[in-house]
């Protein structure tokens, strides 16, 4: 899986009395951001157990710069939603996402958070991406720690490709003031059909 | 430990020398020894006990729904019964839509180590009201609220009959009823719209037990706001 750290090709050292480097600002900022993510676990179900295993000593996400778990959204920049989200929790998750400062990213961990999973019933949100934008979906029921680590590495790759000239990356979502939805209702209905989410997983802009 | 609570030791009311009840083995599906409360109940409340069955060693009685409260009150108070623990209140609706809905109370007598299941029948089309046992067992509070939330059964005499699991503004009906579609009545976008319209912090009022107990310890501004009838977060 390529878990060992590699030197970044964009960083070049020029020898001399004073060491100095030249690089693109984006590459430098992104390199710093991707290696110092502060994740906030939003654990509601069994996926949170796997998340704990990922954070514990054997798998140890501190190797990827996530030394500090943030348990306050105001000091976090990565929301890891681990587990099913019932409709009663939907406004809570939305509020937590809005409390996080930019830059921020979201990983939807597991089948339930990504699609509602096997809970295709009256109580469970069919994919948290109908509430908040999601950057990486990690499949599995629950995903093994290796799976979550792979998702985190995918997110780091995505962060590395961000450009500061792209203002849309850092713009806050603006939900419709009357319905509080940020994607059209017809799209929500469509992807909430059985298997709807698995064939329409490009809607958060990935 | 607060002095208001007296510990109840399981089996403490059994006569000394009586055989200590152990986990029964080889229990038949139907039949076996009936709970001794049934005979006494039949004598004391004529006509109240409509049927009594023993299934897997546990006694179930079907009680006239107007007399449920009196029967459970007597089971709780009488010194020869002492059913001091209400472990569950729930309801059953059968797929056969002709069959009545059953409301079920699970009573346990810790001093006598006995178990009794009390049921009341709600015929289809009749009122969904049964008496609350909240004045007998305080544990009935949330159990009855959950039963109301899921089945729409109203417990007359409950002090605060609101939804418990679904949010209070939930409009789609009662999810565990057989006529309720599994995915709910509204479209997914409408369900999400209604859920997101809720204020996540407007859950607690001063009247709720946990807040009311700690009221004096709350910060002064919160005391003032809650005292004026405001809900936190609004």
> Cβ–Cβ of B196/A186 closer than 8 Å?
no
In a domain, A20, yes or no: no
β-sheet bridge partners, residue B131: B156
Separation between Cα atoms, residue A87 and residue A84, nearest integer Å: 10
| Of A38 and B209, the one with more pLDDT | A38
Assign residue B36 a region (left: φ > 0; alpha: ψ between -120 and 50; beta: otherwise).
alpha
Tens digits of per-residue pLDDT, B130-178?
999 999 999 999 999 999 999 999 999 998 888 888 888 888 999 999 9
In a domain, A148, yes or no: yes
In a domain, A62, yes or no: yes
In a domain, A168, yes or no: no
User: Which residue of B lies nearest to A192 if distances are taken between CA atoms?
Assistant: B188
- A-chain CB neighbours of B200 within 8 Å are 91-92, 95
Among the listed residues A26, A25, A51, the one whose alpha carbon sits nearest the alpha carbon of residue A138 = A51
Minimal C-alpha gap between B97 and chain A (Å): 22
Q: Which domain holds residue A99?
A: 35-162+174-199
Q: Kindly list the structural domains of chain B, giving each domain's residue range(s) and its CATH number in brackets, ordered by start.
A: 25-160 (3.30.460.80)
Per-residue model confidence (pLDDT) at position A203: 46
> Cβ–Cβ of B183/A91 closer than 8 Å?
no
Please tell me the total count of domains within chain A: 1
Q: ∠ CA(A75), CA(A78), CA(A80), 5° rounding?
A: 120
Which parts of chain A have pLDDT scores under 50?
Answer: 1, 202-206
In a domain, A27, yes or no: no
Q: Is A205 exposed, middle or buried (0-12, 13-18, 19+ CB in 10 A)?
A: exposed
- In three-state form (DSSP H/G/I as H, E/B as E, the rest C), the secondary structure along chain A is CCCCCCCCCCCEEECCCCCEEECCHHHHHHHHHHCCCCEEEEECCHHHHHHHHHHCCCCCHHHHCCCCCCCCHHHCCEEEEECCCEHHHHHHHHHHHHHCCCCCEEEEEHHHHHHCCCCCCCCECCCHHHCCCCCEEECCCCCCHHHHHHHHHHHHHHHHCCCCCCHHHHCCCCCCCCCCCCCCHHHHHHHCCCCHHHHCCCCCCC
CATH number at residue A48: 3.40.50.12280
Per-residue model confidence (pLDDT) at position A205: 44
Alpha helices for chain B (secondary structure H): 37-44, 68-77, 140-151, 188-196, 209-213, 220-227
In a domain, A25, yes or no: no
Tens digits of per-residue pLDDT, B65-98?
999 999 999 999 998 889 999 999 999 999 888 8
In a domain, A129, yes or no: yes
Tens digits of per-residue pLDDT, B100-118?
999 999 999 988 888 999 9
Neighbours of A118 (CB within 10 A): 11
Residue with tokens 């306050």: A72
Per-residue model confidence (pLDDT) at position A16: 64
In a domain, A7, yes or no: no
Q: Does the pLDDT value for residue B209 go beyond 60? A: no
> Cβ–Cβ of A121/B182 closer than 8 Å?
yes
Neighbours of A78 (CB within 10 A): 22
User: Which residue of B lies nearest to A130 if distances are taken between CA atoms?
Assistant: B192
């Amino acid at each position: 899986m390529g878990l060992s750290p590699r030197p970044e090709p964009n960083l070049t050292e020029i020898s001399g009395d004073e060491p100095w480097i030249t690089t693109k600002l984006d590459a430098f900022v992104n390199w710093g951001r991707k290696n110092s993510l502060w994740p906030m676990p939003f654990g509601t179900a069994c996926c949170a157990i796997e998340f704990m295993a990922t954070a514990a000593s054997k798998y140890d996400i501190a190797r990827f710069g996530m030394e500090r778990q943030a348990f306050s959204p105001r000091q976090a920049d990565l929301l890891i939603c681990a587990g099913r989200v019932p409709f009663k929790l939907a406004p809570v998750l939305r509020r937590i996402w809005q409390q996080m400062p930019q830059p921020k990213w979201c990983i939807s961990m597991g089948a339930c958070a990504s699609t509602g999973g096997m809970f295709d019933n009256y109580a469970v949100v069919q994919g948290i991406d109908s509430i908040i934008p999601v950057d990486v979906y990690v499949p599995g029921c629950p995903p093994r720690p290796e799976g979550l680590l792979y998702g985190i590495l995918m997110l780091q790759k995505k962060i590395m490709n961000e450009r500061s000239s792209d203002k849309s990356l850092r713009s806050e979502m603006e939900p419709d003031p009357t319905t509080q939805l940020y994607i059209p209702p017809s799209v929500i209905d469509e992807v909430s059909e059985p298997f709807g989410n698995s064939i329409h997983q490009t809607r958060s802009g990935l | 430990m607060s002095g208001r609570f007296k510990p109840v030791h399981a089996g403490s009311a059994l006569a000394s020398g009586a055989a200590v009840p152990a986990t029964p083995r080889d229990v038949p599906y139907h039949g076996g020894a009936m709970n001794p409360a049934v005979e006494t109940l039949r004598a004391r409340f004529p006509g109240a006990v409509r049927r009594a069955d023993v299934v897997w060693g546990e006694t179930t009685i079907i009680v006239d729904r107007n007399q449920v409260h009196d029967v459970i009150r007597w089971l709780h108070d009488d010194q020869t019964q002492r059913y001091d623990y209400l472990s569950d209140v729930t309801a059953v609706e059968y797929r056969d839509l002709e069959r009545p809905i059953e409301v079920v109370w699970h009573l346990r007598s810790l001093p006598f180590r006995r178990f009794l299941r009390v049921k009341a029948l709600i015929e289809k089309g009749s009122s969904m009201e049964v008496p609350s046992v909240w004045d007998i067992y305080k544990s009935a509070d949330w159990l009855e609220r959950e039963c109301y939330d899921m089945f729409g059964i109203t417990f007359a005499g409950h002090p605060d009959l609101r939804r418990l699991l679904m949010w209070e503004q939930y409009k789609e009906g009662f999810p565990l009823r057989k006529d309720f579609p599994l995915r709910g009545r509204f479209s997914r976008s409408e369900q999400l719209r209604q859920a997101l319209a809720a204020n996540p912090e407007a859950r607690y009022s001063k009247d709720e037990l946990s807040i009311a107990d700690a009221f004096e310890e709350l910060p002064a501004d919160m005391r003032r706001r809650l005292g004026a009838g405001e809900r936190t977060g609004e």
